[in-house]
Amino acid sequence: MSGGINVAILGATGAVGQELLALLESRSFPVKNLKLLASPRSAGSKIKFRDQELTVEAVSEQSFTDIDIVLASAGGSTSKKYAAAAVAAGAVVIDNSSAFRMDENVPLIVPEINPEAAANHQGIIANPNCTTILMGVAIYPLHKVQPIKRVVVSTYQSASGAGARAMAEVATQAQAILNGETPQPEILPYPLAFNLFPHNSPLGSNGYCQEEMKMVNETKKIFDAPELRLTATCVRVPVLRAHSEAINLEFERPFPIEQARELISAAEGVKLVEDWEQNYFPMPIDATGEDDVLVGRIRQDISHPSSLELWLCGDQIRKGAALNAIQIAELLLEQNLLKVTAFTAAV
């Protein structure tokens, strides 16, 4: 669009909202006008963008007039409440919550994997879960060459996955423990500093938590591979920012390790990090603030001739959330896909 587009950020004061702002600026996204939306308690806050100081507004159903794209990162209930109003006003919503991810009328997109799905949007595009995005970017280059039969993944998820307040809580807890005091959890259910625990999302009747089932169901949808077998164990760990994942991949036949390294090295959005002599592989501290998913320690599974093991780290706030959303927005502009068709998603 000539002269840029009008953008709204819903959830502008949160950790992902702040990252969205930084990325819009650093990537020179063609913003004509920017509207910052949040809950009433955050209304009136001042946030700088480029050379302007913008005032955060309380979101309402009237907030989306003349808006082209809404970057939503305010939770599933908020997205469900306002998405229809935004689409009715003519905006395309790129939603970071879980509200619409499994809706059959809503594309679930990782631009490095399934950009073609954007052409089918009806006003809402879902941003996948952070762990799903990071894993998908890393393993899809292999899946394209030889379809993956089964994935076994264990995640090591930082406090950033629970938001800025959780990150601050971990820092406070760490200081309390060092002072000989008992840490008091408020945002997370248990102390996370110097501790870890299975992901605290609700457990289903099958024994898997919601976070684990997100990885299972979302990966199948993004890969368009309903027969893919996937099992996940998700764990909260005392890292401030950037998630890690240990992944076992089973193929129909052996996958040469050097070919796997070459494919991952050449893939968009991925960086191979391996120094076998120094035993140096991806770490959260290296992934923090980085766009690429860091992948390494690719090795043959000694228990199965057709399986590979790999390890990754990726910035949960960046590629796991805000960057992926911005890349979707860039995709919409590149392919002239901002026009909204009849909206039939479940809201």
Give the residue carrying structure tokens 């379809």: 147
From CA 75, how far away is CA 63, in angstroms rounded? Answer: 17
What's the CA gap between 277 and 193, in Å, rounded?
A: 32
φ/ψ of 239, rounded to 5, equals -120, 140
Q: How far is CA 295 from the centre of its chain?
A: 17
Residue 304 annotated as catalytic: no
Which listed residue (130, 209, 234, 313) is catalytic? Answer: 130
Whole-number Cα distances in Å, 40 to 64, 75, 87, 223: 16, 15, 22, 39
Alpha-carbon distance values, 280 to 134, 231, 272, 286 (Å): 20, 27, 11, 11
Q: What is the largest CA-CA distance in the chain?
A: 60
Pairing of strands 307-314, 243-251: antiparallel
Report the alpha-carbon distance of residue 192 to residue 82 in Å, rounded.
Answer: 33
Instruction: Name the active-site residue from 121, 143, 199, 243.
Output: 243
> Which residues are tagged catalytic?
130, 243
